[in-house]
Amino acid sequence: MYISNLQLTNFRNYRHLDIEIPNGVVAVHGDNAQGKTSFLEAIYLLAIAKAYRAGGDRQAVGVNPDNPEGLANISGVVHRKNDIVRISVGMRIDTARDGYSQSTFQKDIRINGIRRSTTELVGVVNAVLFDPQDIDLILGAPAMRRKYLDILICQLDRIYLRSLQTYQKIVYQRNHLLKLLRDKRAGYRELDYWNEAMVSEGTKLILRRNEVVEELKNLSEKVHRRVTGIETGMEIEYSPGVAVSEFGEEEIRKSFSSTLENGLDKDVAAGLSYSGPHRDDLVIRVDGRDAATFASRGQARGLAIALRLAEGAILERVRGESPIVLLDDVLSELDTLRSRRLLDYACEMEQAFVSTTDLGRIEKSILARSTRMLVSNGAIQKS
């Protein structure tokens, strides 16, 4: 799988871009704050249907004198094993004219010219993004690891994406009701519906996450050895936000229902749902110890890269073709050995983008057969 053309209009610091892209390795280079990350983010947006970086979709719309309407568009031509798809994602911020109302945000997704939903887009293009902040997958909060898991599974399974969206809405509504109960403005019987809905959709998420984590266990350990070149053991364990002894559907339902019932007083007092898949975590260990506590920064970087490589391996196995690989300035924090091993992996993919401020970070043999793109102030030229 590879992208052959990318067009950007008012996306981040790109006012207008229309560029042809070959397959193989693409070295995206230039000084900091010129648009390298935004370029890779735009490609990733075509895969996951939203802006990846902080600030989200609204902040991705470029603000400049030529864009008073608050419009942005990201379009790409993607070659898959059996066909070619043309994808466009339009964004629009409608500013309230009265100066008091909140502005609205609209997104227009089209696949081969036909309007589609976010759910229908995710999974059409598969991509894996290596980001400098990936170290937070190991050292950061559980939310980072849940996001990693959700993005991976959503690219594999649209049913999971629908369940995730439904579950998030259920938790929001349940939390709202919990606050009303705390303030004695609602009755407890109103909670029955949301508890049942939460258990139903949450059970689906737990089952699917457990399946994928089981596959990640084997793959991540293998690729961790490949990237680091050492035999340090890497272990992954799924830690659901509901205590379960077995990962059977009926067992999860019973445990989830019991947990909600037993934790009701605490939930009402806080106005929050303390249990459920929205509290899940991945426990990652190195040498038998919790990596979040004991891993050095170098170890954490290697573990994070292993997670990303395993993500790509699962996508390739399920889809039957390699995903687009996006390496965003990760070489600067890797030693020579790990950089070489990571780039060797990237070269096995049909297309891989490597962004850097220093082309010297890329091995000469790889650089010699790559396409170079120089990014400067929101413009790109082949160099």
- Rama region for 61: left / alpha / beta (φ>0; ψ in -120 to 50; rest): beta
Within this chain, domains 1-126+324-383 and 135-320 share the same CATH topology: no
- Which homologous superfamily does the CATH classification assign to the domain defined by 1-126+324-383? P-loop containing nucleotide triphosphate hydrolases (3.40.50.300)
For residue 327, the SS3 value is: strand
Distance CA 278, CA 168 (A): 8
Query: So what's the pLDDT on residue 232?
Result: 66
Query: So what's the pLDDT on residue 96?
Result: 58
The rounded Cα 127 to chain-centroid distance in angstroms is 9
pLDDT digits (tens, 9 = 90+) for 244-279: 988 999 999 999 999 999 999 999 999 999 999 999
Token pair for 321: 């073709």
Query: So what's the pLDDT on residue 363?
Result: 87
135-320 CATH fold: Glutathione S-transferase Yfyf (Class Pi); Chain A, domain 2 (1.20.1050)
Q: Contact, 203 vs 313, CB < 8 A?
A: no
Query: So what's the pLDDT on residue 53?
Result: 84
CB neighbourhood size of 94 (10 A)? 13
Query: So what's the pLDDT on residue 97?
Result: 55
Mean pLDDT by 10 residues, the chain (383 residues): 97 95 96 95 95 84 85 97 96 69 84 96 94 92 95 94 97 97 94 97 97 91 80 86 91 96 96 97 92 89 89 92 94 84 88 94 89 95 87
Q: Which residues contact 131 (CB under 8 A, 6 or more apart)?
A: 52, 328, 330
Strands annotated E in 156-313: 234-239, 281-286, 289-290
Distance CA 73, CA 13 (A): 13
| Domain boundaries of the chain, sorted by first residue | 1-126+324-383, 135-320
Q: Contact, 359 vs 367, CB < 8 A?
A: yes
Sheet holding 234-239, edge to edge: 234-239, 281-286, 289-290
The one-letter amino acid at 40: L
